Homo-oligomer: A and B are copies of this chain.
Amino acid sequence: MPRAASRRAVPRITSTAEFARYVGLARTTVSKVLNGHPGPKPKTVERVRRALEETGFTPNAFAKGLRGKRTATVGICMENLLTPPIVAKLAALQHQLRTRGFASLIEVLPAGESQRVLQHFDSMRVEGVVFIGHFLPNELADRLVELRRRQMPHVLLDQTEISPTNAVAFDRVAAMEEVTNHLLDLGHRHFGLLGISGTVQSIRERLQGIERALRARGLDPAAATRSLDYLVPRTIDFAFGHDLARQFAQIPGRPTAFLALNDEIAVGALLEFQKLGLRIPQDLSIVGFNNQDICQLTHPALASVDQQVDDTVRTAINLLLRQIEEPGYEDPVARIPPLFVPRDSAGPAPAA
């Protein structure tokens, strides 16, 4: 094993002092090269670069951090890792941060733990904090007060109702308005809601979009929509979709178009409707949400709405980097336009 042998020949170096001795330069000079400061000649820089490769030496990040240098680390607080959109945001965030030279310190936040986690981020000298998802409003508000007071760069993904600034989310109102308009254009006048009920802000915004589209056509939202969520226990989303479809199949004056909270519920409902002998889209249309792979599972494929995660994350990171450069910088809440993805599960309304 000549390779392992040649490796072993190189001593393991653990400080710039040792490393400087190895290269045959002063510590100061090495430090300059390592930090890209002007002064050293190209030839010296090259010598250091080569020694760096030979030894695999990395300056101790702790000593660096102690001297107030950048840590190039961002803390990410996650609501959980349970749903595909949240994971997609984490993946995009991690990837884009890495591209910009930042590492990610990731913590899933149980309720009541946010202070402890932020202290840890603090002690690790993160340069910014990103929150993905929804947290307890009071707790999050307290954290934001602290972050702002310390001018710690931060961005909220998804949750927009806590803070008038430094939050990025897709535009839920516009999303549902667009979906509803698409279905209205196809002749639908009676809408079933699958899982879109409740009082949380994200749901209220979805409902607001639906109402806005209906009102613009002179329709009364109360008369034009129907929800049976209250009749069915919410288990896992596929089963919830099944159950809702069974309920809707029985009632007289069944809606011709269905809007689902997410793709899982939509797919569950679609398959159940089909099993009950209803044809899609001839008898009824369904639209999901999040545009996951699962949309391709059904026949016909499921129309859905894409949150545009990459855009959202890019906007969030730009805002974070801006704050890092310019402490105290704030932007008003950014609303990312979502993308409606029409597919065959949404078709013309059946003749009355």
Contacts and interface: CB of A to CB of B under 8 A. Distances in A.
Chain A, interface residues (CB within 8 Å), range: 35 or more
Contacts of A66: 60, 62-63, 66
Interface in A212-267: 236-239, 264, 267
A142 B60 CA distance: 22
A208 to B, nearest CB: 30
Contact of A105 (B65, B90, B105, B267): B105
A107 interface: yes
Contacts of A123: 58-62, 64
A122 B293 CA distance: 37
B296 A124 contact: no
A12 interface: yes
Nearest to A95: B108
A87 B58 CA distance: 30
User: Which has the most chain B C-beta neighbours within 10 Å: A80, A90, A298?
Assistant: A90
A26 interface: no
A244 to B, nearest CB: 14
A267 B107 contact: no
Assembly of this chain: how many copies? 2
A98 interface: yes
B120 A106 contact: no
A297 B145 contact: no
B107 A62 contact: no
B94 A87 contact: no
Interface in A75-106: 80-82, 87, 90-91, 94-95, 98, 103-106
Given A105-B105, A107-B103, A238-B294, A62 B125 contact: yes
Interface in A154-181: none
A87 B299 CA distance: 28
Contacts of A82: 91
Interface of chain A: mostly helix, strand, loop or mixed = helix
A230 to B, nearest CB: 22
User: Which has the most chain B C-beta neighbours within 10 Å: A59, A65, A237?
Assistant: A65
Contact of A58 (B56, B91, B120): B120
A80 B95 CA distance: 10
Given A65-B62, A87-B81, A145-B4, A56 B119 contact: yes
A150 interface: yes
A70 interface: no
A203 interface: no
Interface string A34-75: 000000000000000000000010111111111000000000
Interface string A266-292: 011001000100000000000000000
Contacts of A293: 236-238, 264
Contacts of A59: 123
A145 B297 CA distance: 44
Contacts of A65: 62
A108 B103 contact: no
Given A58-B120, A271-B299, 7 more contacts: A8-B149, A56-B119, A56-B146, A81-B94, A91-B108, A103-B124, A294-B294
